[in-house]
Amino acid sequence: MDLGLTGKIALITGGSKGIGLACAQALAAEGARIVICSRDQANLDAALASLPNATGIAADLTRAEAAAALVEQVERKIGPIDILVNSAGAARLTPPNDLTPQSWHDAMDAKYFAYIHVIDPVIKAMAARGSGVIVNVIGSGGKVASTVHLAGGAANAALMLATSGLGAAYAKSGVRVVGINPGGTETGRVKAGMEAAAKLAGISPEQARLEAIARIPMGRMAKPSEIADAVCFLASPRASYITAVNINMDGAQSPVVV
């Protein structure tokens, strides 16, 4: 199936690892022109080895001015951004008794504002041109509360509302905004989270992994490439009537009506 993405300029935040890198690779395979962003130059360099002809830019997206500079650099040197995929940032898993007001602020900076700081200039430029797609990779923690992911889950929930609200607000401008909520996915970030949860529960990381998989009706975690395939479809003209929604991809772990 031709998704009609050849030549489109795609900016992927958090594009050096995990789901973000899988999205960059999948969009590149569809013929898109790829720009990836990460805070770590070494991670960017490693990722670019698997992304011929892509561009990597290091930026700390928790800073609004850095995000604005990133967007300006991409549009000036490469061209107007057709597709924005946000996959950067994650809040630390924190037991409830260890939460402080700063913990909540840190979680919002790491996930919510790292997305919003990029979305704001991009969506306004897209609206001025009359076209564009933003896909936010968020997380199921925004729908189902976890006692060790309350601050991060709250940031995810805020992103889900922003996704739906911005999708509605900019629909008449020809801009679509969609969210994806992955559950457990085979990434280094999830592995680190498993290790933290295992330590809290006093069990081995392998036992924590087995228990997590046992809660997934499909019997396995997602592959990053599976999330990336959904992102490619949602970013394409094939999904031209899908906007202002958040789609669960958690292997039926949370079978809810949305």
Question: Tens of pLDDT along 183-215?
Answer: 888 887 777 777 767 777 788 888 888 888 999
**CATH number of the domain encompassing residue 53:** 3.40.50.720
DSSP percent split of the chain into helix, strand, coil, nearest 5: 50, 15, 35
More confident residue, 95 or 71: 71
Q: How high is the pLDDT of residue 163?
A: 98
The predicted model scores a pTM of: 0.94
Number of domains in the chain: 1
Confidence of residue 145 (pLDDT cuts 50, 70, 90): confident
Asked if residue 200 is part of any domain, the answer here is: no
Enter the tokens of residue 188. Answer: 């280094």
Calpha distance 160→247 (Å, rounded): 10
Asked if residue 204 is part of any domain, the answer here is: no
Enter the tokens of residue 82. Answer: 């057709």
Question: Tens of pLDDT along 233-251?
Answer: 999 999 999 999 999 999 9
Q: How high is the pLDDT of residue 94?
A: 79
Q: How high is the pLDDT of residue 5?
A: 98
Asked if residue 242 is part of any domain, the answer here is: yes
